[in-house]
Amino acid sequence: MENDLEPLMIANTDRNTRNNIARIWPCGKCSILLGLCHLFIGIFLLIFDIITNNISEIAFAATSSLTFIVCAILAFIASNLKCEIFFRRLDRTSQLLLLFISLFAIALTIIMFIDSVVVINHNCDLNNCYQRKNIIYFVILSISLIELTICLITLFVCFRSLRKAYGVTKARSPYSTLIEGNYQLFKIIPRLFKFFDDINKT
């Protein structure tokens, strides 16, 4: 038969082909959700600091808000690989950058938290708990706690992804990515995305 004479197509496993493969991040949907949270809090903190900085005079609010926005951008880059032709292994690079920027953001949120607590306690000792400056610091305290939680979740999701612990029941949920399984049982090979190779076409 003619079909029997046709050669079998096998995957090319040489080193050049492997270099043209980008790995798709299975936890990309988690990264979109985390990126939206980082972006919303970063923009809100930036606007809030611009309006109230003459009263609060917080030194790290603007830096923190810009760091949160950078976290959001890196999370969006890691979530969906649309630039594979220009950047190879973009998923792992963006995850590493997101990991380190999240650590820096955690340090900034801790500084804001301690600064807010010190000011609120000092003013409350003087029976001025309900003055405008204390309310502003209470809002910043709340923002720092929320962002600290989001940064910790981002940190764990990136760490699990870098350890190739993708095998969760629902990878779209950051919560399930955090709680399910150990690293060895869920260590699987992610899907591969192959580029269009003009040489192979010819």
Q: Express each pLDDT in 78-105 by its tens digit.
A: 776 444 433 344 456 777 888 889 999 9
> What is the Cα Rg of the chain in Å?
23
What is the C-alpha separation between 189 and 192, in angstroms, rounded? Answer: 9
Is the CB of residue 175 less than 8 Å from the CB of residue 123? no
Which residues on adjacent β-strands are paired with residue 193?
22
Report pLDDT for 191: 56
Q: Express each pLDDT in 109-156 by its tens digit.
A: 999 999 888 888 888 777 777 788 888 889 999 999 999 999 998 888
- Mean residue pLDDT across the chain: 71
Give the residue extent of every domain in the chain: 26-80+91-188
Report pLDDT for 82: 47
Closest CA to 172 of 34, 64, 23: 34
- 62, pLDDT greater than 80: yes
Which residues on adjacent β-strands are paired with residue 196?
none
**Looking at this protein, which amino acid is placed at residue 112?**
M
Q: Which residue has the higher pLDDT, 11 or 132?
A: 132
Q: Which residue has the higher pLDDT, 5 or 61?
A: 61
What's the predicted TM-score (pTM) here? Answer: 0.65
What is the C-alpha separation between 144 and 146, in angstroms, rounded? Answer: 6
